[in-house]
Amino acid sequence: MGNSQKVLLRPVTAGERAELLAVARAMSERADRVARAKVLLAVADGARFSDAAQAAGRTSAQGVAKLVARFNRKGLAALDGGHGGGPPIQYGPAERERILQELNRPPDRERDGTASWSLTTLQRALRTAPDGLPTVSTKVILQTLWEAGYSWQKQRTWCHTGEARRKRKDGSVVTTTDPETTPKKKP
């Protein structure tokens, strides 16, 4: 027999158990979350850490002990992994909220130079704003938008059909209209 388990799992509530069971059985859930849920359920049912690790396809009882300690502190948030190495995270919740705030603002044609947001125009607006993010990348913007549930096909601003703004050689800007264009149908 090995050493006794030094970290004890706190009592698991009925709601937490139901959520752990749902994650452990889900076919569409990420594999690491499923494995963590299976480990926590096995430990909650009285299994030793090494047995719980083997039941979930893991090998380390120490990893199970760390997961149990994290579950005791954070609850179900322990199913999500932490920062996996690499450079430290630069953009926290406040910066991500600032990105979403800029996205929800309709673009101004004069100031932003566009009628609809793309990743690069959103990046340019965030970098040049006085309260903006001077080093934000399009990758960070895209990840923030995905985490917030946005997709570019569904969340986009549109120009009027048949209108275009053209810049002439002398610098003047004119709006041209195509008379043969039918307006968009309203749903």
> Per-domain residue ranges for the chain?
14-79, 93-177
As a whole number of angstroms, the distance between CA 76 and CA 6 comes to 21
Instruction: Give this prediction's pTM.
Output: 0.52
Which pLDDT value is given to residue 4? 55
Which pLDDT value is given to residue 166? 82
Average pLDDT over every residue of 92-101: 92
Whether pLDDT at 1 is above 70:
no
In Å, how far from its chain's centre is CA 54? Answer: 31
Amino acid occupying residue 22: A
Which pLDDT value is given to residue 160? 56
- Cβ-based neighbour number of residue 105 at 10 Å: 12
What are the two backbone dihedrals, phi and then psi, of residue 156, each rounded to the nearest 5 degrees?
-150, 150
Whether pLDDT at 185 is above 60:
no
Crossing angle for the helix pair 61-74 and 31-44, nearest 10 degrees? 90
Q: How many CA atoms lie within 13 Å of 172's alpha carbon, on the beta-carbon side?
A: 4
pLDDT, tens digit (0-9, with 9 covering 90-100), for 26-74: 999 999 999 999 999 999 999 999 999 998 888 889 999 999 999 999 9
CB 76 within 8 A of CB 19: yes
As a whole number of angstroms, the distance between CA 66 and CA 73 comes to 11
Which pLDDT value is given to residue 157? 46
